[in-house]
């Protein structure tokens, strides 16, 4: 982290590598985010080169926090979603550090990063107890935080419901692919939320992902018992959470 209380975060997705300097006192980006198309194929070497290019464009010389659509343990990618399968088993932290000239790097799951950001700067920032963030997109990402402390790699989108993954039932992509209206989709989301809350009993559930922009059309239709509120940071949450992780030295 810089002496000014700023840090640099990068969010790697299936279509884009996005990054920016973040003011950690406010959670705001200090400039428009930079974006480079995710290389295709998105091999470890190609993505590491894209990260180095983005950091060079930004002129950032300090540590870097990076999110990936992967389970990350001790810096090693253990799964790969919407990114090349060659990532599985790759020491992502060492790879990115080498690509950035040996500087300090933290790597974590993208939903976990979004959860960190929403917990500190979003609607649940003063909450004590268990907070659950779910990102509804191609799949369902999840982040569990207890009074601001991350429980990493929860992967609740893969919880089995009626013999299938939760995300196969209620991801935002399923709504589009099956032509569901918001009422039909909200019924499915409610089934997923009810199952999760019976196991974890969160105080609040934060709904993220692009579909959270339309929260007024579906959150009021949910029938689970836990309060559900929309995410605040939206498409900057991953970047902000990555910057927070490097500040806090989080290394799942």
Concatenated DSSP letters of the chain: --TTSEEEEEEE-SSEEEEEEEETTTTEESSPPEEEEPPSS--HHHHHHHHHHHHHHHT--S-EEEEESS-EETTEE---SSS-GGGTT-BHHHHHHHHTTT--EEEEEHHHHHHHHHHHHSTTTT--SEEEEEEESSSEEEEEEETTEEE----GGG-EETTEEHHHHH-HHHHHHHT--HHHHHHHHHHHHHHHHHHH--SEEEEESGGGGGGGGTGGG--SSS-EEE-SSGGGHHHHHHHHHHHHT---
User: What CATH number is attached to the domain comprising 157?
Assistant: 3.30.420.40
Residue 197 and residue 244 in one domain = no
Q: Please tell me whether residues 101 and 47 are part of one structural domain.
A: yes
Q: Is residue 117 part of a domain?
A: no
Residues 198 and 178 in one domain: yes
Please tell me the distance from the alpha carbon of residue 122 to that of residue 234, in angstroms, as a whole number: 10
Q: Is residue 214, in this structure, part of any structural domain at all? A: yes
Q: What domain count does the chain have?
A: 2
Residues 104 and 192 in one domain: no
**Do residue 218 and residue 242 come from a single domain?**
no
How far is residue 200's CA from residue 178's CA, in Å, rounded to a whole number? 29
Residue 102 shares a structural domain with residue 87: yes
Q: Which domain holds residue 158?
A: 123-231
pLDDT, tens digit only, all 252 positions of the chain = 555 799 999 999 988 999 999 999 999 999 999 999 999 999 999 999 999 999 999 999 999 999 999 999 999 999 998 899 999 999 999 999 999 999 999 999 999 999 999 999 997 787 889 999 999 998 999 999 999 899 999 999 999 998 999 999 999 999 999 999 999 999 999 999 999 999 999 999 999 998 999 999 999 999 999 999 999 998 899 999 999 999 887 776
Does 78 share its domain with 54?
yes
Can the peptide bond before residue 41 be classed as cis, meaning omega within 30 degrees of 0?
yes
Q: Looking at the structure, do residues 98 and 131 belong to the same domain, yes or no? A: no
What's the pTM value of the predicted model, to 2 decimals?
0.93
Instruction: Name residues whose C-beta falls within 8 Å of residue 10's C-beta, 6 or more positions apart in sequence.
Output: 17, 18, 19, 51, 54, 55, 64, 65, 66, 67, 239, 242
Contact present, 75 and 94 (Cβ < 8 Å): yes
Do the domain assignments include residue 207? yes
Residue 111: the pLDDT is 96
Q: What is the pLDDT of residue 76?
A: 98
Same domain assignment for residues 86 and 137? no
Task: Say whether both 218 and 243 belong to one domain.
Answer: no
């Amino acid at each position: 982290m810089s002496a000014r209380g700023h840090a640099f975060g990068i969010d790697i997705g299936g279509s884009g590598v996005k990054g920016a300097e973040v003011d950690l006192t406010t959670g705001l980006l200090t400039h428009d985010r930079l974006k480079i198309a995710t290389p295709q194929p998105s091999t470890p070497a190609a993505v590491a080169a894209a990260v180095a290019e983005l950091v060079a464009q930004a002129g950032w010389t300090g540590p870097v926090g990076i999110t990936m659509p992967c389970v990350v343990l001790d810096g090693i990618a253990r799964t790969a979603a919407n990114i090349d399968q060659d990532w599985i088993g790759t020491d992502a932290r060492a790879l990115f550090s080498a690509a950035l000239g040996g500087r300090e790097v933290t790597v974590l799951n993208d939903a976990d990063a979004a959860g960190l950001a929403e917990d500190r700067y979003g609607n649940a920032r003063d909450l004590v107890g268990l907070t659950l963030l779910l990102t509804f997109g191609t799949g369902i990402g999840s982040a569990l935080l207890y009074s601001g402390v991350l429980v990493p790699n929860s992967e609740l989108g893969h919880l089995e419901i009626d013999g299938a993954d939760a995300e196969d039932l209620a991801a935002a992509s399923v709504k589009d692919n099956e032509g569901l209206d918001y009422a039909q989709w909200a019924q499915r989301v409610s089934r997923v939320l009810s199952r999760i809350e019976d196991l974890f009993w969160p105080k609040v559930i934060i709904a993220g992902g692009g579909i959270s922009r339309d929260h007024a059309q579906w959150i009021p239709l949910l029938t689970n018992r836990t309060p559900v509120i929309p995410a605040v940071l939206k498409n900057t949450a991953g970047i902000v959470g990555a910057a927070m992780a490097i500040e806090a030295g989080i290394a799942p």
